Structure 1
Amino acid sequence: MRYQVELSHVKWKKCMQMQMAMHCAPVLAGLKPSNAVTLDYIDSKELIQSLAGSDIKCGLIYSGNGKCLWLLYREQQVNQYLMDSENQRFLKHCGYSSFQIQNILYTLKNRYRLYKAGQADFPHELGLILGYPLCDVIGFIKNNGQNCLYC
């Protein structure tokens, strides 16, 4: 893939806009319901301001060590995806009792905090919230992140 070789030679300026473009282009373009991006803490205000007036929302998942993990999402698309009965069954198995994005973010934030503190396993349901097919999320869990067909 030639573009990957060319991208590796570019001297990227590390800024919030570049991070969003690199990690969140599919959600910004309306092709995916959500994406996650890690930004420096000082970029959080700029992130919130840059999304003002758009239909893209952001939810803080975790902050620590000067970094913030944000979920950028289109609420209607995420809620629609999470209405699938199999997705709800999986989320219920993970300890979720509500399937509205605001309630899910609250629970995910707590589960991610426990993970970062070394008190719980990684909350793999994040993959489902990011719009990955349930079979891929389950396969990732069963294979411990190994043996994927495509990266």
Structure 2
Amino acid sequence: MSQETWEILCGMKTDDVELQLALQCAPLITGLKISNLLTISSDGFCLVEKIISGSFISMYPLLETEEKTVILLYQKERLEKYLRMMQVQKLLTEEGYPSCLLEDILPVLCEKYEAYAETKNDFPHELGLLLGYPPEDVEGFIRHRGKNCLCTGYWKVYADKERKLRLFEKYEYAKENLIQLLHYGLKMTEIIEICGSTAA
């Protein structure tokens, strides 16, 4: 992150929902990724719904507690297309999903994620697939139990390191841009609308 953006960030309220969307979901908002997780305080859930209402972004809450809410934000058509890839379907089947349809996967994933949150056992690593991570990296993570990766960025990389590092740089650049746009007065609804119209 550049010094200028860091200074801007230090002057902003970190619990602001719009800022958290920029920090956690810039790759999704700018069209670089098909999905992102957003973890916010539970009282911010309705505001997230309002911000993304009518946009190209869909949402599915994975975990709701008194303190926080974890939401999967995603571009529905792109995620559904990704889930139709043979390698992705194979991994989902291996992880016990009887169907590779998004509407069938999400409730099962939600149950697994909630169980993990309660026990801290058996994290559903297939969540990486719902986050659009390259299937070879999700498979590598599962097979190697998170060890022996080539590098770590937005996820642990097990193949094509240089391409993934360039992608991580783009994600960081997107995050900086959104932070700056918020700082200069744009609302997140406006940013999402602009990004949605350029993606269309």
Specify if TM > 0.5: yes
What is the deviation of 1:58? 0.5
**Corresponding residue for residue 150 of structure 1:** 152
* CA deviation string 1:68-123 (max 9, x = no partner): 10000000000000101111011011111122222211110001111112174000
- Assess if the C-alpha contact under 8 Å between 1:111 and 1:120 holds in 2: no
Alignment of 1:16-95 (within 5 A): 16-95=17-96
SS of the equivalent of 2:119 reads coil
CA RMSD of aligned residues (A): 2.0
Q: Which structure dedicates a bigger proportion of its chain to helix?
A: 2
SS of the equivalent of 1:95 reads coil
Range 119-128 or range 101-110, more displaced: 119-128
Gaps in structure 1 of 5+ consecutive residues: none
- How many residues are matched? 150
Q: Greater Rg, structure 1 or structure 2?
A: 2
**Corresponding residue for residue 188 of structure 2:** none
Alignment of 1:4-23 (within 5 A): 7=6, 10-13=10-13, 14-23=15-24
Question: Which aligned segments of 4 or more residues in structure 1 are displaced greater than 4 angstroms?
Answer: none
Work out the CA distance in 1 between the residues paired with 2:3 and 2:66: 30
Gaps in structure 2 of 5+ consecutive residues: 154-200
Range 110-119 or range 7-16, more displaced: 7-16
Work out the CA distance in 1 between the residues paired with 2:116 and 2:127: 12
Work out the CA distance in 1 between the residues paired with 2:11 and 2:129: 33
If the length of structure 1 is used for normalisation, what is the TM-score? 0.89
What is the deviation of 1:50? 0.5
Work out the CA distance in 2 between the residues paired with 1:91 and 1:69: 21
Q: Relative contact order, CA 8 A, sep 6+: which one is greater?
A: 2
